[in-house]
Amino acid sequence: MLSISWPSPDLDLELLHVTSTDDSLFLAVKRSSTSVSCPGCSTLSHRKYSQYSRKVQDLSIGSKSVILLLITRKWFCEELECPLKIFTERYNWLSPNGRRTARAEEVLRKLAFSTSCLSAEKVAKSIHLPVSHDTLLNLVRQTQIEPEVYPFCRDR
């Protein structure tokens, strides 16, 4: 097991294994903490229920696409009044059911807004972040855009 320093304190991850192919880099990681806060009541839980793995796409490194194999744990909530009896640990850089890191999703969102989704699909593939144009359209639809309101001025 290799311990590396991540750029953010939330990234208390342990690097378990690295596998490299000609075009991809697979990183097996898991959270190193022994307790997590319940998302329902914020009670600190120490009792692990189970674990599972999920593949998460991240930004490429050089000419290799990066896939994180994220070992995610489920926990028992120890608060009797909490509606969540079992919960999954959360990461602020990944949506609860996300398959891409927030930074990879932001790059894809910028590509989708700057050009057509068909062109953005080709650009994403060239930067080793493959995604379909339908997924890019969904990213555009899911983006909440706050309207900018300018005061209306009349010459009198």
Q: Degrees (nearest 5) of the Cα angle 55, 57, 62?
A: 130
Q: What is the mean pLDDT of residues 52-72?
A: 92
Output phi, psi for 151, to 5 deg.
Answer: -65, 140
pLDDT at residue 37 is higher than 80: yes
pLDDT at residue 31 is higher than 60: yes
- Predicted TM-score (pTM) of the model is 0.75
Q: How far apart are CA 90 and CA 124, in angstroms?
A: 27
pLDDT digits (tens, 9 = 90+) for 81-126: 999 999 999 888 888 788 999 999 999 999 999 999 999 999 999 9
What's the pLDDT at 7? 52
Separation in Å, CA 147 to CA 2, 63, 99, 138: 46, 38, 29, 20
Residue 35 token pair = 């307790």
What's the pLDDT at 11? 64
* Percent above pLDDT 70 for the chain: 90
Q: What is the mean pLDDT of residues 29-37?
A: 90
Residue 88 token pair = 């999954």
Q: How far apart are CA 84 and CA 76, in angstroms?
A: 8
The least confident of 9-18, 38-47, 111-120 is 9-18
| DSSP letters spanning 26-37 | EEEEEE--S-EE
* Among candidate residues 90, 104, 98, the one with its CA nearest the CA of residue 11: 90
pLDDT tier at 3, thresholds 50, 70, 90: very low
pLDDT at residue 20 is higher than 50: yes
pLDDT at residue 8 is higher than 60: no
Mean pLDDT, all residues of the chain: 87
Q: What is the mean pLDDT of residues 123-136?
A: 92
Q: How far apart are CA 142 and CA 156, in angstroms?
A: 42
Q: Which residues of 104-119 are buried (b: 16+ CB within 10 A; e: fewer)?
A: bbebbbebbeeeebee
The three-state secondary structure class of 113 is helix
pLDDT at residue 5 is higher than 50: no
